[in-house]
Amino acid sequence: MKLNRASQLVLVSAIGLAAASLLTACQLVTVDYVFVACSSGSGSGSAGQIDTYAVDSQSGALRTGAPAVDSGGTDPVAMAVTANYYHLYVANQGNDSVVHFSISDHGVLTKKDSITTVEAPVFLATNAANTYLYVVSGTTSATLTEYPLSSDGTIGSATAQENLTLPSFPNDTILPTAVTVLENNSAVYVTAYDQSAYNPGGKTTSTANPGWVFGFAVDSSGGLTATAGSPYEAGVKPVGIAADPTNRFVYVTDFASNQLIGYTIQSSNVLNFMVNGPFKTGDEPSSIAIDPRDKYIYLANELDNSVSGYTISLTTGTPSALVNTTSSAAYSTDTQPVSLVVEPSLGRFVYTANRLGNSVSGFQLNPDTGVLNTTQATPYPTGSTPTAIVAVPHGNHATQAVYP
């Protein structure tokens, strides 16, 4: 069949548009979804919200994903996702709640259930088996609570609860800051500091060491037992903690002393200081993330608006500062980065939630060197005062494997 000239032009145009659409689709492949917890307004009663962003696989640039959802409370301060990436949990400090959301293959969040915590939640983590949620809470005392998770992510009634106190100073006020779980599910570690011994601008009533890590072994039924020697000294004000994916090392940021503290995990999950630490950081390090390949560590430094990077020694776990192309050991972010994540699909991009910048800063991670370079169009605007950031793979995209 012959086509007249007008029909030929229409056909050529249609083919061109189809080709352009295919090219655009190839160029904008979503590899991960990033979720950011923030306040939706400036008032104390403003509800929290979760913003969703799609990660471009080539550039790491973020673009707006599904519409923002209500966090289920006020003042969201922390988030955690299950290891299978089907469920997201949000800690709302303003109304003492933890809210569970399901995550669709396309990054859509759907609220499922919630619990009320004993005190204001501070931080939370899930284990790799997707069977327990660990919540640390308290602004006048410190509590670690373990909640069972059903196969659909529903939060059950607490199965274990531990009050965090110092044996030699039982009346001191201990404030929790973060929690992490070993990849093999065998132990939980909580960072906290003694406000009775460290209280800038206020009185102190104790001679105890200020910073601590509390360790608990987890048995097959979820029972918690303090590890030998716990709690372990941890500088002045430890605020971030992460365990490496091979269950050999634990790292803690000391916000008050501008240092990274390293521990080796001994038998029975006992912690020992790395002999050559602690290690210098930027000003006021807080959030910490480890590359899924177990090669690099990244820290968010709140005061100097930067990210510090380190390589990890395979044998000793010792972190060595990365130096970027400008001969600096730090990478600039927007104002006050308080939370940091390495995306799991490719392990090629790093993002920080910037509390005072109302934004996310993005970086490309060189997997061979660990050096970071900024992503296109960074920083990316968020809702008001973002406080936490997590990332999940898009659909069934494979995640980075760890080769110890």
SS (H, E, C) 175-207: EEEEEEECCCCCEEEEEEEECCCCCCCCCCCCC
**Domain membership flag for residue 56:** yes
**Domain membership flag for residue 17:** no
The 10s digit of each residue's pLDDT in 347-402 is 999 999 999 999 999 999 999 999 999 999 999 999 999 999 999 999 754 565 54
The 10s digit of each residue's pLDDT in 110-134 is 999 999 998 999 999 999 999 999 9
**Domain membership flag for residue 74:** yes
The 10s digit of each residue's pLDDT in 7-36 is 443 343 333 333 333 334 445 689 999 999
Residue 99's pLDDT is what?
A: 98
Q: What are phi and psi of 199, to 5 degrees?
A: -150, 75
**Domain membership flag for residue 124:** yes
**Domain membership flag for residue 399:** no
**Reported confidence tier of residue 207, pLDDT bands at 50, 70, 90:** very high
Q: Could you tell me the residue range of the domain that residue 189 belongs to?
A: 36-393
**Domain membership flag for residue 18:** no
Q: Which residues, 6 or more positions from 40, have their beta carbon under 8 angstroms from its beta carbon?
A: 46, 47, 48, 49, 68, 70, 383, 384
Helix (H, G, I), strand (E, B) or coil at 126: strand
Residue 227's pLDDT is what?
A: 98
**Domain membership flag for residue 401:** no
What is the distance of C-alpha 271 from the center of its chain?
22
Average pLDDT over residues 103-111: 95
CATH of the domain at 369: 2.130.10.10
Residue 347's pLDDT is what?
A: 94
The C-alpha atoms of residue 391 and residue 387 are separated, in whole angstroms, by 14
The C-alpha atoms of residue 205 and residue 49 are separated, in whole angstroms, by 39
**Domain membership flag for residue 258:** yes
Query: How many structural domains is the chain composed of?
Result: 1
